Structure 1
Amino acid sequence: MTEFGAPSVLVAGEAPDPQPGKGQVVVDVEAVNVVFVETQIRAGRAPLPLPLPTPPYIPGSGVGGVIGAVGPDTDPGLLGRRVIAQSSGSGGYAEKALVAADAVIPIPEALSTADAVALLTDGATAMALFRLAAPKPEEWVLVEAAAGGLGGLLVQLAVNAGAKVIGTVGSDAKLSAVRDAGAQAVNYAQPDWTERVRTLTGGATVDVVFDGVGGDIGTAATSLVEAGGRFLLTGAASGGYTDPAALAERGVTVLGLQQVREMGLNLQELGADALEQAAAGRLRPVIGQTFPLEHAADAHAAMEARTTIGKTLLLV
């Protein structure tokens, strides 16, 4: 990427092989995690407080593959290990990625590299947010963007916990993905979507909202939760986060990743837990579409068009 702009600014090219320093490894990449915020950064409008990088740069941070090189004073036993890892925030859309040795998470033998990468960011985040919300059996849980990577995992975790789950999506084409996960589904592109939610709950408010959209959708969702409920700010796919002030004034507990850090939860440990749950069949990543690495622009275009379901990966 040499400039911000449309997906077409993502152009395949040659770059020097990364050289690992002390405490670093190079991953021979097999699959790359693509997240929606990367499309916002590419366009030059990352939601605050995320800073914009300075072009030129290689985007992407989540990769999976085999460790092909280790740096000085780094455990040589890591060579050949199949792992997932987050880089420092860039360099992921590549055949070789440089990551910290202590950031790698081994992939269980029963799990494919692609499935593991699909859980890299969203798996740890879903586990952390779910622990924060702690939905109880029979509580009503609303998950926005429920056919996406993070939303789909939150739906599964809530269903597994015995909660009554409603997943909202942006098109009728995505309703079946939510229902397949065991939840009821509502299209929030319909102007009366909040009334449809109330119909499903029998007029009751919901106990937990996972707000991954923000903007007008997030604001509308605030009407569905009352004092004693939990409202989790999980994303801003609309471009802006939901204002928590009015919720807090009404006695609703507002939570987000800041509380994850305050609780001292280790995202790497949570990510490993997500992989183990997937390997045991208790959590199922949904990979809706894959693209060759050199077609990263097409992946971004599809995500911006809101036609994607589940996770989007680049394959090397």
Structure 2
Amino acid sequence: MSEAKVREVSRHSEVVQHTPSATRSAGATHPGYRREQNEDAYWADEEKGIWVVADGLGGHHAGEIASQTVVEEIQQCASTDRHYERALQRAHALLLGDEHSTANMGSTAVVLAEEGDYYHIYWVGDSRAYLWTPGDKNGELSQLTSDHSYVQMLMDSGAINSEEAATHPNRHVITRCIGGSTNPKLEVDRVSHRWSSGQKLLLCSDGLSSEVPNEKINRIIAENPNNHQIVELLINAALDAGGKDNITVQIIEAPAIAPPPSFSQESHSRTAQNETNGDSQSNRSWRPLLVLLAACGAIAALAGGIFQLF
């Protein structure tokens, strides 16, 4: 059987998993062409406003255990206190205390949690969150997370640029993960933003982000309004690029309550600032006249006082 035929069979051999009763989101995972098992895991609950992607590390069943531990802690947290940073830290403690764990057993994770028309992203490692905003042509894709990785450290220091990072021999080396170390403390990064109408969030493992350029990801999202189709096309793009790793993707669109982009908090702040500046300029233009009137009033009052004296 030819390599092209093997890839075609493999592409459709994995059942695409969709979130039950999902209306705003879709997700799927694929083992890729090079890995014997899928160490990625993902979960979503639209009603509770929570999505997670976890990428297990360690090989064999270690990675599967690690990523599933992360997902289970997020699931439990969604039904209790909704403190997702603590949930990731609990997963870290569980993996460190697992009698079957090894130094290489760990997981990356990226979590999306909604709160009204705001959302919070929590992450550890190099699983990513991207925000797509509609606009001219294909809109704009921006990365919301910053990888906890060796090449990201090199980029932050200015030692290499993004083009060099894409081909760096140590580009898959991460500097922080859930489990996978003897450090009992886990630092979880977080960013928070307000949804704008028409926006979409992409959560993914590095099986997508390391294989498919941002420009292609952006174009696929822009040209396909159906979330399930976006997920399928993104996974296929990663497979066509080689499918060297497990691939997991979730796409989530803004809720109906989200304000239109023109009324975002940032633009509202700029408008308020412009109005303040306009008022200040208006006040400055009237100031000379007010000074003149005050001076005339003072002269008149003084003249009146002198007249009475005499």
| TM range, smaller chain | under 0.3
TM-score (norm 2): 0.27
Which of the two has higher C-alpha Rg?
2
The structure richer in helix per residue is 2
